[in-house]
Amino acid sequence: MVDGGNGGIILGAYGLRWNVWYYFVGGNKTTKDSEAFMHPAGFPEKLAADHIISWSNEGDLVFDPMCGSGTTLKMAERLNRHWFGCDVSQEYVDIANERIRQEHSQLKFAF
């Protein structure tokens, strides 16, 4: 958001964003889930997380109509959003379900 009063820039809760985002891709370092690499078109978890944070609030529903290996669903779960995903491939739905199961099985602590 630009401050029209003095020409300065006001940073939001998540900092200043530009229209180009940079992510490390490749090298099998975009996730620790080995299951994710069973899908040929995976993308970085941080990319999914940044879009979820940018376009929704906690408690909102995130829908991914081509969920593939479930990266968007996993990050929606981690960011306290409800989620719904589907895919035409049962193999990919199974991968997504396994990744969500693993996300649920991790212990979560609040300090």
Which of 107, 89, 104, 103 lies closest to 31, judged by CA?
Answer: 103
What percent of the chain shows pLDDT beyond 90?
29
Q: What are the residue boundaries of the structural domains of the chain, listed by start?
A: 34-105
CATH level 3 topology of 34-105: Rossmann fold (3.40.50)
Residue 23 confidence (pLDDT) above 90: no
Does this model's pTM top 0.85? no
Which of 79, 71, 61, 60 lies closest to 100, judged by CA?
Answer: 71
